[in-house]
Structure 1
Amino acid sequence: MLGDQLVDGQLGAGITCKLLVVVPRTHGSTLTATLAQVSRAHVELLTRAGCTICQQVYGRLTELAAELDFELSAIDVDAVAAAGDNALRAEFGDRLPVVLLDGREHSYWDVDVARLRADLSAR
């Protein structure tokens, strides 16, 4: 039986975890189950409105997401700051766009494609 579970990650990101439950046949054996969890990588782009470099990096990440099978989302740090949380803009605002891999800074101003491929394959 295969199912999905939504888990809250860093920065409130939803990360889907696949849960695989294996149940033996019912030929008189006792009921036991094995649970395996596999999580999909999550890439997040920190951006701001009107940033053309941010738009280019998002386009490249969209292409890579289709090829490398990771989840992709974007956060406008100025919009988050206007809503009352200035932490992202204070930490990353001078280096946008910033690419986060599973909640950690991976690269900024551009996508380090070779490093992203390596880090995703190492997961």
Structure 2
Amino acid sequence: MSADERVLVLTRPGCHLCEQAVEVVSRVCAETGTGWSTQDITTDAELLRRYTDEVPVTFVDGAQHDFWAVDPARLRAALAGST
């Protein structure tokens, strides 16, 4: 994740909830002009151990924001600094 990417979504292949979360994050970040990225937990043993049952996991500015689902209004509020 680069310095201009404020949102990170941890995902894994074949996860339909991950696909939905990425769609919401993509839309909200496009609206707000916020950089974001994804990371596949299956490429990192520690992430896989820690988050295997919680993906997708969303982080905003390095802090865990949500898991399993992304609420667009809650994400907008977090990006605006009002959570």
In structure 2, the residue corresponding to 1:15 is in which secondary structure? coil
Note the alpha carbon deviations across 1:31-58, whole angstroms, 9 max, x for none. Answer: xxxxxxxxxx610110000111111110
TM-score by length of 2: 0.86
Give the CA deviation at 1:79: 1.9
Cα RMSD, aligned residues only: 1.6
Task: Supply the distance in 1 between the matched residues of 2:21 and 2:29 (Cα, whole angstroms).
Answer: 12
Higher strand share: 1
For the pair 1:61 / 2:6, whether they are aligned, the reply is no
1:115 corresponds to: 74
TM-score by length of 1: 0.61
In structure 1, the residue corresponding to 2:3 is in which secondary structure? strand
What is the aligned-residue identity percentage?
34
Question: Which runs of structure 1 show a deviation greater than 6 angstroms over 4 or more consecutive aligned residues?
Answer: none
For 1:51, which of 15, 21, 25 is the aligned residue?
15
1:15 corresponds to: 3
In structure 2, the residue corresponding to 1:49 is in which secondary structure? coil
1:96-115 correspondence to structure 2 within 5 Å: 96-115=55-74
* Gapped regions of structure 2 (runs ≥ 5): none
* Gapped regions of structure 1 (runs ≥ 5): 1-12, 17-40, 81-85
Give the CA deviation at 1:76: 0.5
Task: Using CA pairs under 8 Å that are at least 6 residues apart, name the structure with larger relative contact order, 1 or 2.
Answer: 2
